[in-house]
């Protein structure tokens, strides 16, 4: 099982000091956070995409390329890349290039985005968000799996004999997770292709996450990619820790109360009781996180949000130290207990290359058929 962190790249005033970091300071802080995540033994670092204040991450592939050069082990991904307002041709090019730069330590989380004003800035309509996500991803897959693409759709100009460059590393595209908070259509899309499904899991109660993941697992099996238990699931979450829970609650409360996303609403106590947010001791984080398996089953990736709401860099690095030393080692051990051997690990570039080499395709099959054959086998073979 993989453990890591994700950032939404917000630039938020520290409510305890009144100080707001500059864009440059916040960007360099995130670079430091990503490198420290590897140093404390985490598996994944994920960076969001936004095109509006108070966020800075308009070009996650650029930032991840820098992080790739400064690290050697950690998997790099997004949280999320906007499949609706980005051109799928540019996504195909950018993330294939990032694959090469990072020597394969790359996968990709795709999402619709829920900020209405962003859509018209890129000539899109949020009311067509689902249709955009479906059509653009279909094209993205073809660009990665086929050498030359003839294509015509509703939302972009046609392509004739187009080849995306560079080609994916080792002719194996990045593994794709489809991220969603509330859209069953995205769970269906992930299941149809045999891709991963990442439930944001921050703002909603367990009953909602159970339904979304359950739908994905059911449809994954329906489409013949394996059993429901073999579906590839990731979860988000947020934690704030101190050695004892009273200190954690006291220190985090002003940040929660003023957070740009969930501040000025339910109380901290209400939110932690109804959602996965955990504010307390390392043991409380362990206990609550282990409970996620009770309603989603055995899953493959757990990411935590740790740098949100104006928390200063020093505090975030202290949080990472606790996560790496006291929480993740216990979670690894406990999640491994009674985990069926048939449940796959999270796919990596190495496991996907091994799978590609094991897939036998008749010599006369064309590129599209080969891509479809590999795509259909991706999840059931990876890490199993």
- End-to-end CA distance of the chain: give it in Å, rounded: 12
Helices (H), strands (E): how many in the chain?
A: 15, 13
Q: Indicate the pLDDT class of residue 369, thresholds 50, 70 and 90.
A: very low
Q: What is the pLDDT of residue 114?
A: 67
- β-pair partners for 81: 110
- As given in the structure block, the two tokens for residue 157 are 């100009």
Q: What is the pLDDT of residue 359?
A: 77
Three-point CA angle 263, 268, 269, nearest 5°: 155
Most confident stretch, 260-274, 333-347, 360-374: 333-347
3-state class (DSSP) for residue 3: strand
For residue range 83-93, what is the model confidence (pLDDT) as tens digits? 888 899 999 99
Place of tokens 């409970």: 291
For residue range 315-356, what is the model confidence (pLDDT) as tens digits? 999 999 999 999 999 999 999 999 999 999 999 999 999 988
**Residue of higher predicted confidence among 262 and 27:** 27
3-state class (DSSP) for residue 82: strand
State the average pLDDT for the chain: 90
Say if residues 5 and 320 touch (Cβ distance below 8 Å): yes
- As given in the structure block, the two tokens for residue 200 are 């944001």
CA distance 34 to 27: 11
| The length of the chain, given as a count of residues | 384
CA distance 189 to 109: 13
**Residue of higher predicted confidence among 111 and 157:** 157
For residue range 94-140, what is the model confidence (pLDDT) as tens digits? 999 999 999 999 999 998 876 768 888 888 888 888 899 899 999 99
- As given in the structure block, the two tokens for residue 132 are 């955009």
Place of tokens 């989380």: 109
Is the pLDDT score of 45 beyond 50? yes
DSSP letter at 108 equals E
Q: Which of 9-23, 196-210, 255-269 has the lowest mean pLDDT?
A: 255-269
Q: Indicate the pLDDT class of residue 371, thresholds 50, 70 and 90.
A: very low
CA distance 228 to 240: 32
User: Residue 270: CB partners within 8 Å, gap ≥ 6?
Assistant: none
Q: What is the pLDDT of residue 52?
A: 83
Is the pLDDT score of 178 beyond 90? yes
Share of the chain above pLDDT 70, in %: 93
Is the pLDDT score of 224 beyond 90? yes
Q: Is the peptide bond before 80 cis (omega within 30 degrees of 0)?
A: yes
Say if residues 336 and 35 touch (Cβ distance below 8 Å): no
Place of tokens 């930032």: 63
User: Of the candidates 233, 99, 245, 231, which has an alpha carbon nearest to the alpha carbon of residue 171?
Assistant: 99
CA distance 151 to 210: 37
User: Residue 185: CB partners within 8 Å, gap ≥ 6?
Assistant: 130, 133, 134
Query: Whole-model pTM?
Result: 0.91
3-state class (DSSP) for residue 147: coil
Is the pLDDT score of 376 beyond 50? no
DSSP letter at 264 equals T
């Amino acid at each position: 099982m993989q453990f890591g962190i994700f950032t939404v790249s917000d630039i938020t005033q520290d409510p305890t000091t009144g100080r707001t970091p500059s864009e440059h300071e916040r960007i360099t802080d995130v670079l430091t956070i990503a490198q420290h995540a590897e140093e404390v033994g985490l598996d994944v670092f994920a960076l969001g995409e936004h095109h509006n204040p108070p966020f800075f991450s308009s070009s996650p592939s650029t930032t991840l390329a820098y992080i790739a050069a400064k690290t050697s082990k950690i998997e790099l991904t997004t949280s999320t890349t906007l499949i609706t307002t980005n051109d799928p041709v540019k996504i195909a090019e950018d993330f294939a290039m990032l694959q090469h730069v990072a020597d394969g330590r790359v996968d990709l989380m795709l999402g619709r985005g829920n900020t209405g004003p962003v859509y018209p800035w890129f000539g899109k309509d949020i009311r067509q968000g689902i249709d955009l996500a479906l059509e653009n991803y279909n094209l993205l897959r073809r660009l990665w799996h086929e050498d030359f693409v003839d294509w015509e759709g509703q939302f972009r100009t046609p392509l004739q004999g187009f080849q995306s460059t560079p080609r994916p590393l080792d002719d194996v595209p990045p593994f794709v997770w489809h991220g969603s908070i509330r859209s069953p259509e995205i769970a269906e899309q992930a299941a149809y292709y045999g891709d991963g499904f990442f439930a944001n899991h921050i703002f909603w109660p367990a009953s909602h996450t159970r339904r979304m993941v359950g739908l994905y697992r059911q449809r994954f099996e329906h489409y013949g990619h394996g059993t429901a238990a073999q579906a590839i699931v990731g979860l988000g979450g947020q934690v704030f820790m101190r050695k004892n829970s009273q200190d954690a609650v006291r220190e985090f409360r002003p940040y929660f109360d003023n957070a740009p996303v969930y501040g000025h609403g339910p109380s901290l106590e209400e939110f932690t009781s109804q959602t996965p947010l955990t504010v307390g001791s390392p043991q409380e984080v362990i206990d609550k996180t282990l409970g996620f398996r009770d309603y989603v089953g055995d899953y493959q990736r757990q990411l935590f949000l740790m740098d949100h709401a104006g928390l200063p860099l020093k505090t975030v690095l202290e949080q990472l130290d606790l996560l790496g030393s006291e929480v993740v080692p216990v979670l690894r051990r406990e999640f491994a207990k009674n985990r069926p051997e048939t449940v796959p690990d999270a796919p990596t570039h190495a496991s996907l290359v091994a799978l590609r080499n094991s897939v036998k395709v008749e010599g006369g099959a064309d590129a599209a058929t080969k891509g479809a054959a590999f795509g259909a086998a991706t999840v059931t073979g990876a890490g199993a």
